[in-house]
Amino acid sequence: MSRHSVFHEINIKERSVLVLIEPDEAMRPYALEELTALAETAGAEVVGDFYQRRDRPSPTHYIGSGKAEELFAGVQDLSANLVIVDSELSTVQVRNLEDTVKCRVIDRTQLILDIFAQRARTREGRLQVQLAQLSYLLPRLSGLYTKFERQQGGIGVRGGAGETKLETDRRKVRETISDLEAQISEVRNQRQQQRIQRRKLPYPSAAIVGYTSAGKSTLLNKLSGSEVYADAQLFATLDPTTRRVDLPEGWSILLTDTVGFIRNLPTDLVASFRATLEETIEADFLIHVVDASHPHREVQHQAVLDVLDDLGVVGKPIITVFNKCDLIRDSLFLQLLQEDTPGSVCISAQTGAGFPDLMACVIETLQGLLIEVKVCLPYSKSDLVAKCYEQGRVDKIEYAEAGIFMEAHLTPDIAGKVAPYRITEEPSHAHGGVLETLP
């Protein structure tokens, strides 16, 4: 026998059966397609699916108890060892389903959290995923000790080992959550400092938002010339990336790519990733990327708007970018799509088609953010002139005896600094000043 042994790592995929309840028959194919993509992204092999049409889930088994028996038979026939449910389950539902189908059961939230755990690359990302996982686990811990609790009762065994272990684990989880929240608070402060530093730069900020796999990272790469990781897989980007983008006519912006959204995004995940998602909250305007080629783009569009509403992002200018228009041959459809959505453009982030329209729309949005001012600056404040050029558009400037007369469109920050020197009338040229009219 050889003295040298070779070990091969074998990755065995879990054979999963998907379970979903969808009252809307028209939504069923999309819901199944999305759950399948999530399962495969997590590394599972989908061997079957089980569907029940009902208005609301059963409080005991999610599906009816009789249907749960049918599911057990299907799991046995398919030699499956995992059931994935397209909803967030209670402890009771998980326990009853596992008792019936005799295999492990996870819900949509656990599935998404698992994908995020795989995707997290930075310390910040791992902290946020771990916090979301523990926040999800804490209220469900009691279900792990059901067998112990069933053994309790009677003199001498009340409050026995199972309950003691449960309380110990709850305390440990709470302590870990507190520690993670403290670390994420540090990350939040660091991000705030980074934003403060970026605010000192003479550029407005924009955030790219959208459904997962809509093409956000591809768009950032195309606009900025960077090489941020971009892939068609779900949740390819977790950590925000900011790049400077130069636009026509001398404009520039700081553009941030953010984590993709999805239907029924777990609330624990939104809460844990709030430090990251604050990039969206703090941006001057948003670029919402929608996959125009997707048959359920309206559902995805609304799902993103719902998450933005949960984050409290209201009143910001939003440019809707219908991406992947190169996959659509019907030009009339694209025209109607754009007409039905004010402030929208149709592009292909892959080919660059439609980018002139996008640039024009971004510049128009930037102009809408600026405040028109007429000022007469004393020469002792001439340093503000350079800042006006940096943080806005100077239309006219005149160096006269009385001071520096200027007409400009400025960001709110610099407009506030020159506000004490605002005037209402046109400067008089009788002072022998030199007037510059800028294009």
Separation between Cα atoms, residue 40 and residue 34, nearest integer Å: 10
CA dist list (Å): 256 to 217, 220, 239, 282, 285: 9, 8, 10, 11, 11
Domain for residue 1, yes or no? Answer: no
Neighbours of 337 (CB within 10 A): 19
DSSP single-letter state for residue 120: -
Query: Is 422 contained in some domain?
Result: yes
What DSSP designation does 14 have?
A: P
| In-domain check, residue 8 | no
Residue 430 burial (10 A CB sphere; 0-12, 13-18, 19+): exposed
pLDDT of residue 374: 93
6 in a domain, yes or no? no
Question: Are 232 and 345 members of one domain?
Answer: yes
In this structure, the answer to whether residues 276 and 183 fall within a common structural domain is no
Global pTM exceeds 0.85: no
Q: What is the CATH number of the domain that holds 70?
A: 3.40.50.11060
Is the same domain home to 66 and 124?
no
Say if CB 212 and CB 261 are below 8 A apart. yes
> What CATH number corresponds to the domain at position 257?
3.40.50.300
Based on the domain organization, do 93 and 132 belong to the same domain?
no
Domain count across the chain: 4
337 with 402, same domain: the answer is no
Q: Same domain for 220 and 160?
A: no
> Among residues 368, 386, 414, which one ends one of the domains?
368
> Is 355 part of any domain?
yes
Tokens for 337, please give them.
């799509």
pLDDT of amino acid 229? 54
Range of the domain at 219: 202-368
Q: Which among 99, 114, 129 is the end of a domain?
A: 114
47's CB contacts (< 8 A; 6+ apart) are: 15, 16, 17, 78, 79, 80
Do 214 and 338 lie in one domain? The reply is yes
Residue 188 sits at the vertex; the CA angle it makes with 184 and 192, to the nearest 5 degrees, is: 170
Taking the CA atoms of 192, 193, 199 and 202 in sequence, report the sign of the dihedral they define. negative
Q: Which residues contact 314 (CB under 8 A, 6 or more apart)?
A: 308
Q: Which residues of the chain have pLDDT under 70?
A: 1-12, 142-164, 195, 198-202, 227-239, 272, 275-276, 425-439
pLDDT at 238: 65
Q: What per-residue confidence (pLDDT) applies to 143?
A: 56
195 is a domain residue = no
The pLDDT, as a whole number, for residue 151 is 42
Same domain, 211 and 338: yes
At residue 45, the 3 state secondary structure works out as strand
4 falls within a domain: no
Is residue 106 domain-resident? yes
* Shared-domain flag, residues 322 and 412: no
Angle at 404 between CA 402 and CA 405, to 5 degrees: 95
Domain edge (last residue) among 310, 334, 368 = 368
Please tell me whether residues 128 and 177 are part of one structural domain: yes
46 and 95 assigned to the same domain: yes
- Regarding whether 403 and 330 lie in a shared domain, the answer is no
* Owner of token pair 């709030």: 274
